[in-house]
A and B are shown apart, each in its own frame.
Chain A
Amino acid sequence: MGEATRDRILSVASPVALFVLWEIAARWHWIDTRFFPPPTSIARTFGEMIANGTLLSNTLTTLGRLAIGIVVGGVPALLLGLAMGLYRPIYALVDPLISATYPIPKSAILPLILLVFGLGEPSKIAMVAIGMFYPVVINTAAGVRQIDRIYFDVGTNFGARGWAVFRTIAFPGALPVIMTGVKLGVGLALILIAIAEMVGAQSGLGYLLWNAWQILQVNVMYVGLITIAVIGFVLTVLLNEIERLLIPSRTRR
């Protein structure tokens, strides 16, 4: 058995072992099943929630808010970051505002967002957008600024003007750093949507989790947690794949 195969088996074995142990501990009542129901019963709830459609509808609601918020926060962040990276006056103008507001924990803005946007969809989307905005704008500006000056000279010398400079130099040159910002932003957005949905939402996975706590449906809570974990995992894989496609110069070695 090769080392790689062994490692793969080990990394599958550890979660399986944990579940088996958990199952045994729950069945024999070594642990409090009110908080830690056996995995098989969670799996049963999972099946029921898929069958009656509640899991899918709440998941789709959350994914929809994520998608809209990511675009609403990400696209302006990208454009502003590019402009900040390319034009020093814009950087001087905008950077203090970003530096001053960045350290505020994004979750702490939720009450203000609820006040401004109300309890409906806009407040959820605003939270996702805020989570996406900061990492993307900061990384894009930094990404453009780290591009070697010589490439802009080449652009000037070979007739690239205006939009062509964005498209052929600033954007592709900063793309590896931008992608790091996008990954951070999506991660943050996922955290914030869960929090936002717990407060004053009537749908979504965050609502599902909060509601399960209120009526003490622990199994449902676990289903919600697992679903969010899966979404996070799938998004990570997806973003890595997008990165691979967008930056072929990095992967084709």
Chain B
Amino acid sequence: MSAAAKIRFENVEKRFALRGGEHVALGGLSFEVGAGEFFCIVGPSGCGKTTLLRIAAGLDAPTSGSVTIAHGEGERPENAMVFQGESIFPWMTVRENASYGLRMRGAPRTQIDEVVGHYLDRTGLNRFADAYPHQLSGGMKQRVSIARAFACDPEVLLMDEPFSALDEQNRTLLQEELLRIWDETKKTVVFITHSVDEAVTLGDRIMIMGADRGLPKAFVDVPFSRPRSVLELRATPEYGRLFYDIWAQLRDEIRAPGAEVA
């Protein structure tokens, strides 16, 4: 592993047995994500993005290959995931949800209160700390999910289309908030999205995945400086150029016959 690499995917392969054959979800991916890098993965639906992330999270096992996450100093979990759908526990309050990872690791109470308080503050959830999820909007629920992931201070943050269910305005707001929190922590992030827009806005580097056999098609560096302002960024011509380039590559994939196979 190169010195600065935080996550290393090595020949990661995932096959599912189907009736009358086999489906190759991931056909042997190898790439590295640098420490402190905000790494985005875009690709058509069914290209294996989520499978890849679940393998990195340890929720699924690869058929072959491996994912290695480098450990920094201190005792901390390897990864924390922000899930795509509603994933905060309906039977816990916002505070109980946000502190879940720390509590499961048996962190001392004072530390839990301090860290969770900080992230509830950063996500604007302080007022809702004792509310239950059914009292919150979709955007608020995803904020809880983000606070929960950041609060347990993992080596790597894994995000699986966390904003895909939100409306345009909320998505933009949450992207800005995520960038702000991320700027403070400089965590290594692997962020999956089907939105080119979102990948260009958030990422340092983007991997475009092909529709067929779940292989990387191209890696694109995002040249924008940080801290970024989502709106101002989108007003620049460079943004439009990059958006267009990536879309052009992705369009071929969506048209590819493999994309029809979910």
Contacts and interface: CB of A to CB of B under 8 A. Distances in A.
A interacts with B:
yes
Interface of A: 150-151, 153-160, 164, 168-169, 172-173, 175, 247-249, 252-253
A151 B87 contact: yes
A52 B152 CA distance: 65
Contact of B152 (A151, A158, A172, A252): A158
Given A153-B83, A252-B132, A253-B134, A159 B104 contact: yes
Contacts of A159: 77, 101, 104-105
Contacts of B87: 150-151, 153-154
B188 interface: no
Rank and list the top 6 A-B pairs by shortest CB-CB distance, nearest first.
Answer: A158-B101, A172-B91, A249-B132, A159-B104, A160-B104, A157-B81
Contacts of A168: 89, 100, 104
A159 B83 CA distance: 15
A169 B85 CA distance: 17
Given A159-B77, A247-B91, A153 B104 contact: no
A249 B90 contact: yes
B75 to A, nearest CB: 12
Contacts of A158: 77, 80, 100-101, 104, 148, 152
B135 interface: yes
Contacts of A175: 91
B91 A156 contact: no
Nearest to A157: B81
21 contacts: A150-B83, A150-B87, A151-B87, A153-B87, A154-B89, A157-B58, A157-B79, A157-B81, A158-B100, A159-B77, A159-B104, A160-B104, A164-B104, A168-B89, A169-B89, A172-B89, A173-B89, A249-B90, A249-B92, A252-B135, A253-B135
Chain B contact-residue range equals 20 to 34
A5 to B, nearest CB: 31
Nearest to A164: B104
Nearest to A158: B101
Contacts of B101: 158-159
A249 B134 contact: yes
A149 to B, nearest CB: 10
A155 B87 CA distance: 10
Nearest to A174: B91
B70 interface: no
A248 B80 CA distance: 28
A150 B85 contact: yes
Given A159-B105, A169-B89, A252-B132, 12 more contacts: A150-B86, A150-B87, A151-B87, A151-B89, A153-B83, A154-B89, A155-B104, A157-B81, A158-B148, A164-B104, A175-B91, A249-B132
Nearest to B77: A159
A49 B134 CA distance: 51
A247 B89 CA distance: 13
A248 B83 contact: no
Nearest to B97: A154
A223 B227 CA distance: 79
B59 A248 contact: no
Contacts of A155: 104
A245 to B, nearest CB: 13
A169 B59 CA distance: 17
Contacts of A164: 104
A140 to B, nearest CB: 15
Contacts of A169: 89
Given A248-B132, A249-B90, A249-B132, A153 B100 contact: no
B126 to A, nearest CB: 18
